[in-house]
Amino acid sequence: MSAIYDRVALIGLGLIAGSMAHAIREGGLAREVVGYARSAETRETAREINLCDRIVDSAAEAVADADLVVLAVPVGAMAAVAADIAPHLKPGATVTDVGSVKQSVIDAVAPHIPQGIHFVPGHPLAGTEHSGPRAGFASLFRNRWWLLTPLPDTDPAAVDRLTDLVRAMGAKTDRMEPAHHDLVLAVTSHAPHLIAFTMVGVADHLRRVTDEEVVQYSAAGFRDFTRIAASDPTMWRDVFLHNKDATLDILGRFTEELFVLQRAIRMGDGQQLFDYFTRTRAIRRGIIEAGQDTAAPDFGRIAPAG
């Protein structure tokens, strides 16, 4: 495939940016991929594994002459990074991000975007519990959704070009209003992660009482919770601080559902429990049929090599 961009700059070199670097270079989707990370240790690791064509020591150097700039930093760092790179952006360049929250990122980044630069916020719905520059792999986005939330006045050609790149990396794309995106992700990702963190915290408290039996005899359900709870703590702290309203709304609904199930268990209402679990089982089948997972107990994820 011919190159879609001449130069792509990746700001932040964790799982998502690393996987983008692998996918772009493997597919010949850009003539050059330049990377930058705030940590000197991360930059050194990225150089060691030849993650990008060039690893540079400042964000300003990374974005110089780049046609596409990808902000792959925690949501809470977006504003500072945007302010840092703004004076150095190439006229006509596109800036996108990979944050799990969209309205907050738009509020943080958009004021710093100069006239003539296209800002197309995005969010790849892909990941593992691993992080850092060694965690990335080219097939991470294959058959996963990559949501774009362009602003009303964004140049359609810039959105289409970014869409072409996303699809060339194997992802499926859709476009959403930012607020709707944040509500959908509160249901599908943010609240479930918070529940997993909580369940693992409860089990940790119990483990101290039961001499590590919780860990020793973990069944599949708890193991899956611990996989989710192993996710990057900085990223998830920022997600909950920046998607507060939608997450609290969904957690309130979750609490109401939990009370319904508690009452059914207390009252011995087996029929209500059976009917409830039948409905939720159908949702799981729908996810598998949509190709967003397999029936395998490992969540159908492909582990990175090494």
Domain boundaries along the sequence of the chain? 5-176, 180-267
pLDDT band, very low/low/confident/very high, at 304 (cuts 50, 70, 90) = very low
pLDDT tens per residue across span 248-279: 998 999 999 999 999 999 999 999 999 988 88
Contact status, residue 58 vs residue 47, Cβ threshold 8 Å: no
Q: Give percent above pLDDT 90 in the chain.
A: 65
Nearest to 23 by CA among 170, 190, 127, 225: 170
pLDDT band, very low/low/confident/very high, at 300 (cuts 50, 70, 90) = very low
Alpha carbons 24 and 67: distance in angstroms, whole number: 14
Q: Please give the CATH topology (third level) of the domain spanning 5-176.
A: Rossmann fold (3.40.50)
Q: Which residues contact 128 (CB under 8 A, 6 or more apart)?
A: 15, 135, 140, 301, 303, 304
Whether residue 232 is predicted with pLDDT greater than 90 in this model: the reply is: no
Quick check: do 5-176 and 180-267 share a fold?
no
Q: Please give the CATH topology (third level) of the domain spanning 180-267.
A: 6-phosphogluconate dehydrogenase C-terminal fold (1.10.3660)
Whether residue 181 is predicted with pLDDT greater than 90 in this model: the reply is: yes
Better-predicted residue by pLDDT, 133 or 207: 133
pLDDT band, very low/low/confident/very high, at 210 (cuts 50, 70, 90) = low
Alpha carbons 193 and 243: distance in angstroms, whole number: 13
DSSP class of residue 88 equals G
Q: Which residues contact 60 (CB under 8 A, 6 or more apart)?
A: 84, 85, 87, 88
pLDDT tens per residue across span 25-61: 999 999 999 999 999 999 999 999 999 999 999 999 9
Whether residue 183 is predicted with pLDDT greater than 60 in this model: the reply is: yes
How many helices (H) and strands (E) are present in the chain, helices listed first?
Answer: 13, 9
